[in-house]
């Protein structure tokens, strides 16, 4: 026979479950999480095919998890408990020193080798194109001294060495690790987000320009401005540590009279600025740079040097491209996560003679979308 205390605990637990289900019936499903900056799973459609394949069960589990009542509140409670128990990692994010959140990095799998082969194949198919690869180490490598005790992410330098060894000799590999490591006392990566800051991108731009024989602008040739002091990024959303200070977003504008005309092909829209300040009122403030992710955008300047470059990229490029735009007449930016047309044909049609692959290390070794270049 159950003790009275056990009966009370079981009753409270059942009451809690019933209350959650009742609340869930009246709270409308959310489509987007501002805190996590992602789309949330929606109720899956029930069909015999989905039921037999197990797809319905999997999707329904994701739906229940994403639409759990007061999900953000319970996630915060969980994070607080873990912090009090001195746990140093949550959802793959290390709680580093000095308020830094750092993402665990795993040893890359066969996708890395596949992506190296694809870039080699790309360069072989377009022998008249100068091809460059710039891999940006993530903050977990640049700020190793801020990792908690016993944290052991895989060494990103080993990944970069593997890439360099596998590339065709006619492809320029631009190694910016030492440049960034030697500047890690500056604000070159966000503390709560997976991106570098525009200041960090400047140092990489300067090295890239010098490597390519381009005279870079000095940092004094730009006017810098802090446009936000309230940015919480993707690491903050993943770790759900509510006791951290927000990041600042800094932008740089050239002092010279360079004009830009940006065309967002997926929206058939033009803009004359590289910074869309309306995003500063949203959760994803990093989209202030080039309006966030787009399948294809073109940047045309008033520089008349007939220089054109195509950039295949992840979002690390967004605060790098505004520096590079001061040296090219045209920049064509393709995000292979969304651009599904023939890139080789596009390059030939637009008479482009230079290509840059710009990715963070953690993105490059897992991005299967580069396969589309085949």
- Encode pLDDT of 109-126 as tens digits: 999 999 999 999 999 999
| Domain housing 362 | 98-373
Q: What pLDDT does residue 68 have?
A: 55
| Listed residue (151, 158, 252) closest to 200, CA to CA | 252
Overall pTM surpassing 0.85 (yes/no): no
CB 286 within 8 A of CB 248: no
Based on the fold, state whether residues 211 and 268 are members of the same structural domain: yes
- The per-residue pLDDT for 241 is 74
44 and 126 fall within a common domain: no
Give how far Cα 172 sits from Cα of 120, 133, 167, 204, 272, Å. 11, 6, 9, 15, 31
Q: Are residues 213 and 284 in the same domain?
A: yes
User: How far is the C-alpha of 52 from the C-alpha of 231, rounded, in Å?
Assistant: 45
Kindly give the pairing relationship between strand 330-334 and strand 308-313.
Answer: parallel
Q: How far is CA 301 from CA 132, 171, 212, 256, 290, in A?
A: 22, 27, 20, 12, 15
What pLDDT score does 274 carry? Answer: 98
Which of 45-49, 307-311, 370-374 has maximum average pLDDT?
Answer: 307-311
How confident is the model over 145-176, as pLDDT tens digits?
999 999 999 999 999 999 999 999 999 999 99
Domain boundary among 21, 46, 68: 68
Decide the pairing of beta strands 222-231 and 247-254: antiparallel
Instruction: Decide if 77 is inside a domain.
Output: no
What does the pLDDT average to over 203-222?
96
Nearest-CA neighbor of 108 among 367, 372, 284? 367
Mean pLDDT of 337-356: 96
Nearest to 242 by CA among 76, 70, 72: 76
In-domain check, residue 84: no
DSSP 8-state code for residue 163? H
Q: Are residue 201 and residue 282 in the same domain, yes or no?
A: yes
Indicate whether 46 pLDDT > 90: no
pLDDT on residue 48: 76
């Amino acid at each position: 026979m159950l003790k009275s205390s056990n009966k009370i605990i079981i009753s409270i637990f059942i009451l809690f479950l019933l209350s959650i289900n009742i609340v869930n019936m009246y709270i409308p499903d959310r489509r987007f999480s501002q805190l996590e900056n992602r789309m949330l799973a929606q109720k899956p459609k029930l069909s015999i095919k989905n039921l037999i394949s197990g797809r319905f069960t999997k999707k329904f589990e994701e739906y229940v998890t994403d639409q759990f009542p007061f999900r953000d509140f319970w996630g915060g409670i969980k994070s607080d408990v873990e912090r009090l128990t001195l746990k140093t990692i949550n959802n793959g994010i290390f709680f580093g020193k000095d308020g830094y959140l750092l993402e665990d990095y795993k040893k890359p799998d066969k996708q890395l080798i596949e992506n190296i082969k694809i870039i080699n194949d790309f360069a072989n198919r377009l022998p008249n194109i100068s091809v460059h690869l710039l891999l940006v180490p993530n903050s977990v490598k640049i700020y190793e001294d801020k990792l908690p005790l016993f944290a052991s992410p895989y060494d990103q330098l080993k990944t970069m060495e593997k890439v360099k060894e596998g590339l065709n000799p006619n492809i320029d590999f631009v190694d910016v690790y030492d440049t960034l490591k030697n500047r890690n006392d500056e604000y070159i990566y966000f503390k709560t987000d997976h991106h570098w800051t525009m200041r960090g991108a400047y140092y990489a731009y300067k090295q890239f320009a010098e490597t390519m024989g381009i005279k870079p602008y000095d940092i004094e040739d730009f006017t810098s401005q802090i446009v936000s002091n309230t940015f919480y990024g993707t690491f903050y959303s993943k770790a759900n540590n509510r006791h951290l200070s927000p990041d600042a977003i800094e932008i740089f504008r050239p002092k010279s009279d360079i004009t830009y005309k940006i065309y967002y092909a997926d929206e058939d829209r033009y803009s004359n600025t590289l910074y869309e300040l309306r995003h500063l009122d949203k959760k994803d403030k990093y989209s202030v740079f080039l309006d966030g992710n787009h399948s294809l955008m073109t940047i045309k300047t008033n520089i008349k040097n007939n220089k054109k470059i195509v950039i295949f990229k992840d979002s690390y490029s967004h605060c790098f491209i505004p520096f590079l735009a001061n040296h090219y007449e045209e920049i064509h930016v393709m995000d292979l996560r969304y651009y599904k047309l023939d890139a080789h044909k596009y390059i030939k049609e637009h008479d482009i003679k230079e290509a840059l692959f710009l990715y963070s290390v953690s993105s490059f070794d897992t991005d299967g979308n580069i396969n589309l270049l085949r």
